[in-house]
Amino acid sequence: MTVDTDTTKTPSLALEVVSYERLKAHDKGEIQRLIDVLCSQGLLFLDLQGPTAKQFLEDRQTVIHHQRTFFEQHQDAKSKYHSGVRYKGFYTSPIGVEKIHLGREEQIAGDRSHLPEVLHPVADKVESVSAFIDKILREIGLTLASSMDPTFSAALRDIANPGLSHLTLGISKAIPGTPLMDGHTDDGFLTLTFYDEPFLEVLDRTDNEWKPVEVNQNMPILNVAAQSAKNSGGRLYNPWHRVKMGANEIDLVMFDLFEGPSE
């Protein structure tokens, strides 16, 4: 099954849809589709419809509401969460993009000092969202590692050692059409991105053209990142992508899964 929405400008990139419920049930056909798509395109829509993710999707909407409250605060109130450390703390740019990285290491340790005060009333929801995404990405990463032939290593079993894994909450109020991020590939093992407005463009391997990806409700984009591509010997494809501001403000929830220390 593919999803492709026509546009009057550049044709959008058709992405395959893979069901998390079927992966969770160890459906061999769905696992093979997962492998095939991530080896060819490197990204797909992960369908979270079903009972497993129902509470998570509700919690995510709660988090989005409160993260907007944080980003609407005065700059001084936000800047105190800037750490200067990559993948940790608050970040802002002059073009209207702001985000905050919340590390799994701190969440597992029960350390909420990095969490903005305005998010404390929903701290359990934030941590639940982060833990759920972390869990499903680990499951998918281990499924890929054990199901491909030959198999490959994935230091993902020890959830108490998350490495640099982190949840990113973000907002963009940039002028429509503004480039937000140049072409790049992701670090880490796997990335899962939720957003309600189209802003992602992917370099299509078939014709070397940049093409937009449309929004698919309750279907975040799952993509291969550098470590899984490396561990698989280059069989998993780490896709080039870039970000451009669309017509409306963007509320972003994203999770980057990293390997932990050697197990």
pLDDT (tens digit, 0 to 9) for every residue of the chain, 263 residues total?
444 444 346 789 999 999 999 999 999 999 999 999 999 999 999 999 999 999 999 999 999 999 999 999 999 999 999 999 999 999 999 999 999 999 999 999 999 999 999 999 999 999 999 999 999 999 999 999 999 999 999 999 999 999 999 999 999 999 999 999 999 999 999 999 998 888 999 999 999 999 999 999 889 999 999 999 999 999 999 999 999 999 999 999 999 999 998 65
What CATH number is associated with residue 109?
2.60.120.330
pLDDT value of residue 262:
61
Task: Identify the domain containing residue 29 by its residue range.
Answer: 2-257
Q: Is residue 213 part of a domain?
A: yes
pLDDT value of residue 137:
99
Q: Is residue 262 part of a domain?
A: no
Q: Is residue 248 part of a domain?
A: yes
Q: Is residue 263 part of a domain?
A: no
- Torsion angle defined by CA atoms of residues 143, 34, 162 and 263, in that order, rounded to the nearest 10 degrees: 30
3-state SS track over the chain:
CEECCCCCCCCCCCEEEEEHHHHHCCCHHHHHHHHHHHHHCCEEEEECCCCCCHHHHHHHHHHHHHHHHHHCCCHHHHHCCECCCCCCEEEECCCCEEEEEEEHHHHHHCCCCCCCHHHHHHHHHHHHHHHHHHHHHHHHHHHHHHHCCCCCCCCCCCCCCCCCCEEEEEEECCCCCCEEEEEECCCCCEEEEEECCCCEEEEECCCCEEEECCCCCCCCEEEECHHHHHHCCCCCCCCCEEEECCCCCEEEEEEEECCCCCC
- Number of domains present in the structure of the chain: 1
Q: Is residue 84 part of a domain?
A: yes
This prediction's pTM: 0.93
